[in-house]
Structures are given as C-alpha cells and as structure tokens.
Amino acid sequence: MNQANRITEAREQYSRAALLGERALARSVLEQAIDRGISHADLYLQVLTPAQVRMGELWHEGEINTAQEHLATTVTMEMMDLLRQTMAPRKSLGVRAVVTPVEGDQHYVGARMVADLLLMDGWEVDFLGNGTPAADLAAFVQQRRADLVALSATMPELLLNARVAADAVRALRPPRPKVLLGGAAVAGGDEDPELLGCDAIACSAIEALAEARRLVGLTAERATLQEQLEWMGQRIKAARTRLRMTQLDLADASGLERSYISSVEHGRQNLTIGAVLKIAHALDVAPGELLAPPVQESASHQAGPDQGPSP
C-alpha cells in the first residue's frame, strides 16, 4: 500500500471513530499512521481536517445532530493535544505569536492547527481557544509582547469582528505586532488585507506559516510561488550538502522518492507542508527555514532573534 492509500485509510477510519466518540480507537488510528511513516502535518492536514469538514457537512445535511458534531470536534481537539506532545522540539526562533478565533467564532480547529504548525517551526505560541473581545485581546497581546497576532474567521459575517480586533491590535503603542488573518471566510483569497485592517491574509495553513515568517522579518517580501519553490530547493540542497548527504540519502531519511527530492531541489515540485516537515526533520532544521530565500539567511541571523518587527 502506498502512502496516499495509507492516508486515505487513516482518514476513513479516523472519521468513523470521531463520529462515534471512540477516543481510544481514534488514538490507535493515529498511532498506527505514525508508525507507517505518516507525518504529524499530514495527519493534521489530510486526516483530521477533512474528517472535521465532513462532520460539518453531515451536520448541515441533517445526518448528525449538534451534540454529535460537538463530540467529534472534541475528539479531534484531544487528538491534536496528543500529537502536539509528540512533536519533535525545534530551536526557538525567538518570536511569539498569539493565535485566536475572532470574537463570536465557535470554530477553532483551524486556528489550533496553525498554532501547532508555528510551534513546529520554533515559535512561542499562545493559543486562545475562544474568541476574545477586542480590547481584552489587545491588552493580552501587549502584555505578552507578541510579534504576531493570527486571527481566524470561519464565516463572512465575522469579518467585521476581525476588523475590530485588528484595529485594536494595530492601535497598540510601538513596536506593535503584525496582524495575520486566515480561515474559511477569506479562503477564496479575494479579500483586501488593508480593508480588514490586517497586514496579510493567508488562504491555507502552509501559506500562514510563510506569511507569519515574512511579517516578522524572518524572510523576504512576498514572493511568487515559483520564486518560493526555487528558494526552497536551494535551501534544501545547501543543507543536504552541508551534511554530506546525497539525494538518495535525503530520500531515505525523509521517506520520499529520490526523483521527488531532485524535482524539489530544482524548484519544479510544489510541496505539501507534510513533505516540508519530513525534509526539515531529515535535515534537522526548522521547517520555516526552508521557506526563507538564501540571501536572507545572514541578514536575519545578524538581526538576532530577540528583535521584534519594525513598527
């Protein structure tokens, strides 16, 4: 069975377990998937998230009731807690993020996922499980001296609340944190960040990771997809060379094909965040480092990790 089929099987088994509220079975499915080489990120993005989306669809279709949907969500959050405990620790980047749904948004799984991906990347993260009033959020962000506030809005009608929260954060005394907005409400990519009072919008989890780094000065300005792929390929090749690894060595260590590694290094392969994490783990680097252009490496190191973003 190839990896794609293993992921599909895990997703189907996990969905059934979550729907029934069978925590032990759900945990067993995830542990077995990890034993089969499925990364934490792939579990997040290709097992837990699709399963949760399916629960929402079943609820909208009247196939399950609110209690069943809430139970499935609780199981997923508990499984994410377990996965978070087994994440390989990474060197701290010296930056802090506050991640939260906007006030009135009861859907927090996506925000929790972004918080966990930032943790994997070496960020200090404060995750607020429920939407917080704008004034309280701003006070907390100021107290924690956060470099980034990541807001999540899952419904278009909550974008006004996102604007209120963003305005409160941006009104803080300098150096104020950057504001990143994501979630289903902006997944189409048609929203203007300035109109919503934000510094950037992310349409996916992997884009949120790249934008978070860019906003706090760990990478260069926004790049095209092709530029990003070329930079990533260069960073991977450079790290592999430093370790005196061949492409075959890296393929074996990451569980990927050698031809895939070759395509990545030549900037011809669009990677999933699961593949990024596998390669980063094999090279013993923070995943976000692979997203930074090579020309930025010395500049960011000279700046020092304890310097916040420019006001």
How far is Cα 152 from Cα 85, in angstroms, rounded to an integer? 23
Q: How many CA atoms lie within 13 A of 7 on its CB side?
A: 18
How far is Cα 230 from Cα 295, in angstroms, rounded to an integer? 12
Contact 274, 45 (CB under 8 A): yes
Residue 281, C-beta contacts closer than 8 angstroms, at least 6 positions apart: 39, 88, 254
Average pLDDT for residues 37-43, to the nearest whole number?
A: 81
More confident residue, 163 or 175: 163
pLDDT of 179 reads 97
Highest CATH level, class, for 96-215 = alpha beta
CATH 2.170.120.20 is right for the domain spanning 225-303: no
pLDDT of 305 reads 33
User: Where in the chain are the domains?
Assistant: 3-85, 96-215, 225-303
**Averaged pLDDT of the chain:** 84
Q: Which secondary-structure segment (H or E) carries 71? A: helix 66-85
Residue 235, C-beta contacts closer than 8 angstroms, at least 6 positions apart: 289, 290, 292, 294
| CATH number belonging to domain 3-85 | 1.10.1240.10
What pTM, to 2 d.p., does this model score?
0.67
More confident residue, 231 or 196: 196
pLDDT band at 297 (very low <50, low <70, confident <90, very high): very low
